């Protein structure tokens, strides 16, 4: 495809960064755009696997303390997220999903669980939600380092780590590039740092990530292709 046709479809604004990074070489810019899409697909696969594992570990832990419908019960009158206005944003997201399921007579705990986005699980480690949930969730990271005088590894640490991953997820979901450094140049450092972060958190959960992701993990390969554009 000619670059003018490609740009007409993708938009000049979206292609501007690619052109800058490729010194206005239109052929390289189109190649980089395609490689960025492939890297985004590969990284999203990693994040999706991590999100499912995180969600399920949270669910198993919370069921032990709050019962099999804990997520629904948290937003009901008198429930933990209904008693503190600082958790109202979280409560509203869960309630909307719950109301949608009830309206179609399809509620189950597993369906409500699956309707939650990554941000809900991240905020389970925010100070307010973590406290309201009973301060149990650090148990899902049995291999995390212990907090010392100089280094904290508490719920706030987990929240921050999940926030980094959530930001990558959102960039990919909104079709933003993940192959640039600053100033605009071809650079996969951002991706590789968060890729390593996912593997670290898998390890803290006691999950063998290489075995889990066998045949799925091509992030390093795609990063290599981008750096050769």
State residue 210's pLDDT score: 96
- Calpha distance 71→94 (Å, rounded): 8
Angle, alpha carbons 18-227-163 (nearest 5°): 75
Position 182 confidence tier, pLDDT thresholds 50, 70, 90:
confident
Minimal CA–CA distance to 130: which of 162, 155, 152, 166? Answer: 155
State residue 104's pLDDT score: 97
User: What burial letters (b/e) apply to 138-148, b meaning 16+ CB within 10 Å?
Assistant: bebbeebeeee
What is the average pLDDT across 203-224? Answer: 97
pLDDT digits (tens, 9 = 90+) for 59-72: 999 999 999 999 99
Residue 117, pLDDT > 90, answer: yes
- Calpha distance 145→126 (Å, rounded): 19
pLDDT digits (tens, 9 = 90+) for 17-56: 999 999 999 999 999 999 999 999 999 999 999 999 999 9
Residue 168, pLDDT > 90, answer: yes
Q: Which residues, 6+ apart, have CB-to-CB distance to 54 below 8 Å?
A: 121, 140, 162, 201, 205
Residue 205, pLDDT > 90, answer: yes
What is the average pLDDT across 82-92? Answer: 97
pLDDT digits (tens, 9 = 90+) for 90-106: 999 999 999 999 999 99
State residue 136's pLDDT score: 98
- Calpha distance 49→52 (Å, rounded): 5
What is the average pLDDT across 191-199? Answer: 98
Residue 145, pLDDT > 90, answer: yes
State residue 188's pLDDT score: 98
Question: What is this structure's pTM?
Answer: 0.95
Residue 137, pLDDT > 90, answer: yes
């Amino acid at each position: 495809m000619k670059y003018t046709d490609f740009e007409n479809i993708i938009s000049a604004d979206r292609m501007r960064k690619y052109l800058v990074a490729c010194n206005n070489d239109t052929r390289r810019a189109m190649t980089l755009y395609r490689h960025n899409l492939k890297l985004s697909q590969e990284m999203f696969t990693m994040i999706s696997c991590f999100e499912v594992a995180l969600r399920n570990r949270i669910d198993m832990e919370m069921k032990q303390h709050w019962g099999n419908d804990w997520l629904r019960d948290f937003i009901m009158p008198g429930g933990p997220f209904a008693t503190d206005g600082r958790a109202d944003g979280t409560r509203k997201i869960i309630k909307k999903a719950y109301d949608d399921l009830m309206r179609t007579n399809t509620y189950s705990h597993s369906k409500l669980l699956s309707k939650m986005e990554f941000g809900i699980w991240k905020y389970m480690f925010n100070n307010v939600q973590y406290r309201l949930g009973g301060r149990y969730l650090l148990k899902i990271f049995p291999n995390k380092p212990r907090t010392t005088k100089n280094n904290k590894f508490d719920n706030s640490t987990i929240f921050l780590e999940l926030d980094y991953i959530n930001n990558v997820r959102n960039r990919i979901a909104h079709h933003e590039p993940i192959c640039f450094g600053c100033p605009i140049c071809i650079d996969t450092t951002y991706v590789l740092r968060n890729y390593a972060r996912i593997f670290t958190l898998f390890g803290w959960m006691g999950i063998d990530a290489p075995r889990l992701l066998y045949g799925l993990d091509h992030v390093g390969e795609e990063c290599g292709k981008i750096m050769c554009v």
